[in-house]
Chain A
């Protein structure tokens, strides 16, 4: 960029002032974004190396990696990691299938497209906490209507067991976030040339063949972007579990564990170590995705 400017000394003054203007325009946003991410994560690392419990302030001190050792050797952390990954993988998988179905309906429906788009946006607009309450009330044995439906035992205690709680939690998560998935997939669908389908039809390809041989391969980048966003989002699952079980029946996620240590027990040292570990997990997920993603995009390029 600089090199192309240098042969024209007359322009460099202007270029420099343009750079200054650009930086000034970006400064407020950059500062606001760093102030609550880069600085706190650095501070979290510092806190995580100390024993700081706000209930026992005089016992503070530097303890090195002891907090990390305590967490990584505790059964609770690994249970919570399992729970988080279980909810993440299950809900994102269901969302991908449902989201693809909804995207196809929005894209291919000859009529009623507006109705589908309208109704799909309703879950998106609803507060996650509100959605969690709605599903909790629906499944609760006292207030709910679900246990009065046919085929379901009337005294089924959904929130009394671990995996029945997960079933309701995942249902609420899927309901709330499938629209986002569907919209991202729809954006990928509309870029596919409809002539490809016509040609395949002429060659006698069935609807299923057209979907698996044309739609899916061409949509791979869009699918991966949607999966990346939703996977990272699902790994942070907090609101729904907090409202429905507060982590009871072994349904705690890592975000709930961090919250309990930090805010409920005021143990900043241990809680910050949990925060840093969650940050590392998210970083690893993103890193693995971007590596896989980059290669796939390269493969998908025409002419390669």
Chain B
């Protein structure tokens, strides 16, 4: 296609449109987070002067008084724990499903699919009651357990799709060549499986990082409240000053790392999302 041709121009417009639509809300959030407090309501898309006050206010008072630091730590630890446990459980199950023949395999895959469609709100009431009885209400495990449940189906589907592509004969070939079983597994199979495991890990992390329903239902304080839930409570706390600026700043802090992460691993995410949904 030649530059300057009509087709080239049409494609350029289409690509530009997608780019602008995807970016506007992000640019807008950054812009509003940088506006000085008295300019938040000026109605401009971009700030006329830049101030970092909103960011400073987020971290003021250290871990005890800042409304943001503790939820941020909670979010990171809860999402990471969920990811590690989900990946271990899902890898075991996916290995069995991809490599072994056993009765009940189809039931497990169908069950995982059913859980992917399960409405989380239907479990919130019972979990609220059970967690208070078991002492799990407002704790890390109280959130990690439901996140695990609802992220396992995606993790299992992604990993099964990846594990089915691994040439497992290489393991025996390495052993024939004199490798110990452990060497054969760690030097041959692990490197082949790593991209799939990593892809599943990213998707589980994004899922746990994004959740709001469980986070506001099963927590009551900063002891385990995560960022999405804390953001919803920012609004009520300061009735005299507009919390818009601080919400925007907090939103930018939790969004930018994820965007960088997503962009770095975009190929993996695309292959994982499509493998998880279509090959099942």
Contacts and interface: CB of A to CB of B under 8 A. Distances in A.
B176 interface: no
Given A1-B103, A37-B149, A238-B212, A122 B123 contact: no
B173 interface: no
Interface in A1-16: 1-2, 15
A41 B123 contact: yes
B34 interface: no
A186 B275 CA distance: 12
Give the dominant DSSP class at B's interface. helix
A111 interface: yes
A22 B96 contact: yes
A115 B120 CA distance: 34
A127 B254 contact: yes
Interface centre among A119, A144, A188, A259 (most CB of B within 10 A): A119
B89 A29 contact: yes
Interface in B221-280: 227-228, 231-232, 242, 244, 247-248, 251, 254-255, 258-259, 261-263, 266, 269-270, 273-274, 277-278
Interface residues of A, number: 93
Contacts of B121: 236, 238, 254-255, 258-259, 275, 278
B57 to A, nearest CB: 17
Nearest to B155: A29
Given A128-B212, A129-B232, A121 B262 contact: yes
A32 B259 CA distance: 30
Contacts of B15: 105, 109, 112, 115-116
B44 to A, nearest CB: 6
Interface stretch (A71-79, A131-139, A196-204): A131-139
Interface residues of B, number: 91
A83 interface: no
Nearest to B123: A40
Given A21-B100, A130-B255, A282 B118 contact: yes
Interface in B111-137: 111-112, 115-130
A126 B102 contact: no
B201 interface: no
B152 interface: yes
Interface string B23-39: 10110110010000000
A183 B21 contact: no
B93 interface: yes
A127 B41 CA distance: 24
B211 to A, nearest CB: 9
Contact of A37 (B26, B118, B228): B118
Given A41-B122, A186-B274, A102 B18 contact: yes
B84 interface: no
Contacts of A293: none
Interface centre among B25, B29, B101 (most CB of A within 10 A): B25
A263 B128 contact: yes
A276 B232 contact: no
13 contacts: A29-B92, A36-B148, A41-B123, A119-B18, A121-B262, A131-B25, A137-B32, A145-B43, A148-B44, A175-B21, A225-B277, A272-B125, A282-B119
Given A25-B96, A125-B258, A187-B277, 6 more contacts: A32-B89, A33-B112, A36-B148, A121-B269, A242-B212, A279-B119
Interface of A: 1-2, 15, 18-19, 21-23, 25-26, 28-30, 32-33, 35-37, 39-41, 43-44, 47, 101-102, 105, 109-112, 115-131, 133-135, 137-138, 142-145, 147-148, 175, 179-180, 183-184, 186-188, 222, 225-226, 229, 232, 235-236, 238-239, 242-243, 254-255, 258-259, 262-263, 268, 271-272, 275-276, 278-279, 282, 286
